[in-house]
C-alpha cells in the first residue's frame, strides 16, 4: 500500500462509495445494481476490501492501457465520447481541455435526460 498511485485509485473508490453511493467492485448485475444486504453495505471491512481490489484492477488496467468502459447508451453516447476524450486529455496533461469536455458531457447528458422525461410525459 506504499504505491501513491494505487492509494489514489483506492481513495477514489472510497469517495465514489461514500459520496455517490457507487460501488463498481461490489457484486451486482453489471449495470450499476449492487447485490448486497443492508448489513453487507454497512460493513466497513467489505468496503475496504472492495477498494483495495478495485485499486489493484485499476492499476493493472492503467499499466496495460486498457480501461474497459462497455457499450454506449444511444441517448447519451455523445456525452460518453466527451468523457472518454476528457480522460485522454487528462492522460496527456491537458487539464483545461478535460474540464471543457466534461462540461460538454454534463450538458449533453442533461439534455438527454430532459428529452427522455419529455417523451415519458407524452406516453
**Read out DSSP for 8-33?**
HHHHHHHHHHHHH---TTSSB-SSS-
- Is pLDDT above 90 for 32? no
Please state the rounded mean pLDDT for residues 91-116.
95
- Is pLDDT above 60 for 40? yes
Classify 54 in phi/psi space as left (phi over 0), alpha (psi -120 to 50) or beta. alpha
Of residues 68 and 29, more confidently modeled? 68
| Domain range annotation of the chain | 4-64, 74-122
Question: If pLDDT is split at 50, 70 and 90, which confidence band does 117 have?
Answer: confident
DSSP-derived 3-state class of residue 34: strand
pLDDT digits (tens, 9 = 90+) for 75-92: 999 999 999 999 999 999
- Is pLDDT above 90 for 101? yes
Residue 66 φ/ψ, nearest 5 degrees: -135, 75
Question: Highest mean pLDDT range out of 21-25, 28-32, 93-97?
Answer: 93-97
Residue 123 pLDDT: 60
Amino acid at each position: 500500500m506504499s504505491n501513491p498511485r494505487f492509494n489514489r485509485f483506492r481513495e477514489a473508490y472510497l469517495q465514489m462509495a461514500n459520496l455517490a453511493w457507487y460501488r463498481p467492485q461490489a457484486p451486482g448485475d453489471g449495470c450499476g445494481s449492487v447485490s448486497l444486504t443492508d448489513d453487507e453495505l454497512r460493513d466497513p471491512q467489505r468496503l475496504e476490501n472492495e477498494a483495495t481490489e478495485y485499486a489493484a484492477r485499476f492499476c493493472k488496467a492503467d499499466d496495460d492501457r486498457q480501461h474497459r468502459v462497455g457499450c454506449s447508451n444511444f441517448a447519451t453516447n455523445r456525452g460518453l465520447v466527451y468523457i472518454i476524450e476528457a480522460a485522454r486529455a487528462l492522460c496527456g496533461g491537458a487539464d483545461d481541455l478535460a474540464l471543457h469536455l466534461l462540461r460538454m458531457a454534463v450538458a449533453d447528458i442533461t439534455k438527454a435526460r430532459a428529452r427522455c422525461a419529455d417523451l415519458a410525459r407524452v406516453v
